């Protein structure tokens, strides 16, 4: 898309179109709170503590050759690694990141799960102009909440390249009841060894389910259809199962594993052979701990788990591509012993599975009880023809047209909003809201976990509550990148 077109659209949203509103002033204006409005700056001022320290980094996205157990594959990466080198800071600090786009196409950076100022959210045509090749953009925002986050592009299908980086925000008051921690990033991989993401999307649009690379993946756990793209490989921390990453520890130690699904189209079922997993955080925020054998991690979701290391020995940390063929693998090593094989399958996969219904937000992050001001139903469905995905019957291919082509979900600052995800399709959708962490409404009406991404299975209806405390224009979309690129996008719009 010519950047001139993009720029014109962006200006319409960010300022020009609402110039009369801004000029009217006097606080009685009505209209969208654009990314450039003073409410966004005011929200940032409330978050920023005087003297907050600043973490600076340069983030370069560029073509990159990744070594997969001796096979060189061409992909794209941040700062010359897949995943990109982990970024760490403390809650309350400021992140100042200069993004340099050395890719051959437009790009941005979206800071997934962070409750940041809207104009730094990295959505092309909505919160900023896309960064053209050779150009750069300075992101600067306060990072308010501790937890496990990550960042990635928000342009087309770029996420199905190697463009992802964990962003870990430490809690200055962390109780630290663990001895070591590891970040574990899962990914479905095709770059350099199969069709490009664009070719894959074309095949999907051509209805090419029978062509061989694509066939129906099935999973009871996901309620049926588990995906359309059969990936040739799955990675853990950028490494294939025949060259797994090693997580070294001592017997009896408590490990915190930060599980991040950076995959574009695959949910993973995770288990550690010979161990149980105590779930402590969902999408960065704490829950009342629940101990299970295995759990499902949807695209863009994060789960933090604590394990007490058995051993001495070498234990498979396996992430099965749910409903598909293959897995990603790592090794928790607490002593000598033969490494598990690439297809090691922990018995725990068939053990006790984490259910969303047993999770409760920790008291420290539970939203205060109050009445709901507005409820929005979001019907998730496929178009009758072609490979098009819809929210409430609307399909948006370009983010910059989301305001025109959907009915934005209007909210006012200070309100409590209920979103009801109603999946009428035959496939699961990991639904993601930008700039907020919602609270899942439990079956008894109580407080479920806080999350920013939520798997909604076929025939499921799931309600989540949002405290509207972060003004701006926020995308709400499916995190299956092929669904997102095929229309499954809408907008939460603060109005004043
Ligand atoms: Cu979807």
What would the DSSP string read from start to end of 11-54?
HHHHTGGGHHHHHH-TT---SB--TTSHHHHHHHHHHPPTT--E
* Of 2 and 218, more confident: 218
Q: Distance, CA 357 to ligand 1 centroid (Å)? A: 21
Q: Distance, CA 480 to ligand 1 centroid (Å)? A: 5
pLDDT in tens, 129-160: 999 999 999 999 999 999 999 999 999 999 99
- Distance of alpha carbon 177 from alpha carbon 192, whole angstroms: 41
- Distance of alpha carbon 113 from alpha carbon 148, whole angstroms: 9
Q: Stretch 316-337: mean pLDDT, rounded?
A: 96
Percentage of the chain exceeding pLDDT 70:
92
Assign 3-class secondary structure to 74-128: EEEEECCECCCCCEEEECCCEEEEEEEECCCCCECCEEECCCCCHHHCCCECCCE
Quick check: 309 pLDDT over 90?
yes
Q: Stretch 303-326: mean pLDDT, rounded?
A: 97
Q: Distance, CA 299 to ligand 1 centroid (Å)? A: 10
pLDDT at 454: 97
CB 321 within 8 A of CB 240: no
pLDDT in tens, 292-304: 999 999 999 999 9
Domains 3-170 and 363-494 alike in fold: yes
CB 220 within 8 A of CB 353: no
pLDDT in tens, 80-127: 999 999 999 999 999 999 999 999 999 999 999 999 999 999 999 999
pLDDT at 41: 92
Q: Distance, CA 366 to ligand 1 centroid (Å)? A: 27
User: How far, CA to CA in Å, does 111 sit from each of 116, 279, 473?
Assistant: 8, 23, 15
Model confidence at 35, in pLDDT bands (50, 70, 90)?
low
Q: Stretch 225-238: mean pLDDT, rounded?
A: 94
Q: Distance, CA 430 to ligand 1 centroid (Å)? A: 6
Indicate the domain borders of the chain: 3-170, 180-354, 363-494
pLDDT at 30: 61
CB-facing half-sphere around the CA of 108: CA atoms within 13 A = 20
* Of 103 and 210, more confident: 103
- Distance of alpha carbon 463 from alpha carbon 445, whole angstroms: 9
pLDDT at 176: 73
* Of 96 and 173, more confident: 96
pLDDT at 408: 95
Quick check: 1 pLDDT over 90?
no
pLDDT at 20: 32
pLDDT at 37: 78
Q: Distance, CA 428 to ligand 1 centroid (Å)? A: 6
Model confidence at 12, in pLDDT bands (50, 70, 90)?
very low
Q: Distance, CA 333 to ligand 1 centroid (Å)? A: 36
Q: Stretch 228-236: mean pLDDT, rounded?
A: 94
Q: Using the 8-state DSSP alphabet, how is residue 216 labeled?
A: -
**CATH architecture for segment(s) 180-354:** Sandwich (2.60)
Q: Distance, CA 475 to ligand 1 centroid (Å)? A: 14
Q: Distance, CA 469 to ligand 1 centroid (Å)? A: 26
pLDDT at 24: 34
C-beta atoms surrounding 393 within 10 Å? 10
Quick check: 436 pLDDT over 90?
yes
Q: 3-170, superfamily in CATH? A: Cupredoxins -  blue copper proteins (2.60.40.420)
Q: Stretch 20-32: mean pLDDT, rounded?
A: 45
| Maximum CA extent, the chain | 72
Least confident of 255-259, 300-304, 383-387, 436-440: 383-387
Model confidence at 34, in pLDDT bands (50, 70, 90)?
confident
Quick check: 3 pLDDT over 70?
no
pTM across the whole model: 0.93
Q: Is the backbone peptide bond immediately before 113 cis, with ω within 30 degrees of 0?
A: no
Q: Distance, CA 52 to ligand 1 centroid (Å)? A: 38
Which of the following CATH numbers is that of domain 363-494: 2.60.40.420, 3.10.20.90, 3.90.1150.10, 3.50.50.60? 2.60.40.420
Mean model confidence pLDDT for the chain: 91
Q: Distance, CA 407 to ligand 1 centroid (Å)? A: 19
Q: Stretch 35-49: mean pLDDT, rounded?
A: 88
Phi and psi at residue 435, in whole multiples of 5°?
75, 0
* Of 338 and 9, more confident: 338
Q: Distance, CA 186 to ligand 1 centroid (Å)? A: 19
Quick check: 215 pLDDT over 70?
no
* Of 445 and 460, more confident: 460
Model confidence at 208, in pLDDT bands (50, 70, 90)?
low
Q: Stretch 483-493: mean pLDDT, rounded?
A: 97
pLDDT in tens, 354-378: 999 999 999 999 999 999 999 999 9
- Cα angle: 98, vertex 100, 106; to 5 degrees: 125
Quick check: 8 pLDDT over 80?
no
């Amino acid at each position: 898309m010519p950047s001139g077109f993009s720029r014109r659209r962006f200006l319409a949203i960010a300022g020009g179109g609402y110039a009369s509103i801004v000029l009217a002033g006097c606080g009685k204006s009505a209209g969208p709170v654009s990314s450039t409005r003073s409410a966004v700056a005011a929200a940032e001022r409330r978050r920023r503590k005087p003297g907050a320290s600043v973490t600076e980094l340069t983030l370069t996205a560029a073509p990159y050759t990744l070594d997969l157990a001796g096979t060189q594959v061409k992909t794209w990466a941040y700062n010359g690694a897949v995943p990109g080198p982990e970024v760490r800071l403390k809650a309350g600090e400021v992140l100042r990141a200069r993004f340099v786009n050395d890719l051959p196409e437009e790009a941005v950076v979206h800071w997934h799960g962070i409750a940041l100022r809207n104009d730094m959210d990295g959505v092309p045509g909505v919160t900023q102009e896309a960064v053209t090749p050779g150009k750069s953009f300075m992101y600067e925002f306060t990072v308010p909440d501790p937890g496990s986050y990550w960042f990635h592009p928000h342009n087309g299908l770029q996420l199905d390249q190697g463009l992802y980086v964990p962003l870990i925000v430490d809690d200055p008051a962390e109780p630290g009841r663990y001895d070591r921690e590891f970040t574990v990033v899962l990914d479905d991989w095709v770059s350099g060894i199969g069709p490009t993401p664009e070719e894959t999307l074309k095949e999907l649009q051509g209805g090419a389910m029978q062509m061989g690379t694509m066939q129906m993946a099935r999973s009871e756990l996901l309620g049926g259809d588990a995906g359309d793209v059969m990936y040739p490989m799955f990675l853990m921390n950028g490494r294939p199962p025949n060259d797994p990453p090693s997580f070294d520890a001592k017997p009896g130690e408590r490990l915190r594993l930060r599980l991040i699904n950076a995959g574009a189209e695959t949910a993973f079922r995770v288990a550690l052979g010979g161990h149980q997993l105590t779930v402590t955080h969902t999408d960065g925020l704490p829950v009342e701990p629940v101990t299970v054998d295995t759990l499902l991690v949807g695209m863009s979701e994060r789960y933090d788990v604590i394990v007490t290391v058995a051993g001495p020995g070498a234990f498979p940390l396996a992430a099965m591509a749910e409903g598909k063929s293959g897995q990603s693998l790592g090794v928790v090593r607490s002593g000598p012993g033969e490494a598990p094989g690439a297809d090691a399958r922990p018995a725990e996969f068939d053990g006790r599975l984490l259910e969303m219904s047993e999770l409760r937000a920790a008291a420290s992050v539970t939203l205060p009880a109050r009445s709901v001001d507005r409820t929005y139903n979001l019907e998730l469905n496929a178009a009758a023809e072609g490979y098009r995905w819809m929210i409430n019957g609307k399909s948006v291919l370009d983010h910059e047209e989301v305001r025109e082509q959907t009915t934005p979900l209007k909210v006012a600052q200070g309100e409590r909003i209920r979103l009801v995800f109603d999946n009428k399709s035959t496939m699961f959708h990991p639904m993601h809201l930008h700039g907020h962490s919602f609270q899942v409404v439990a079956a008894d009406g109580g407080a479920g976990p806080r999350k920013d991404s939520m798997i909604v299975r076929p025939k499921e209806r799931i309600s989540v509550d949002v405290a509207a405390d972060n003004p701006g224009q926020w995308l709400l979309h499916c995190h299956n990148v092929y669904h997102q690129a095929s229309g499954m996008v809408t907008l939460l719009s603060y109005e004043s």
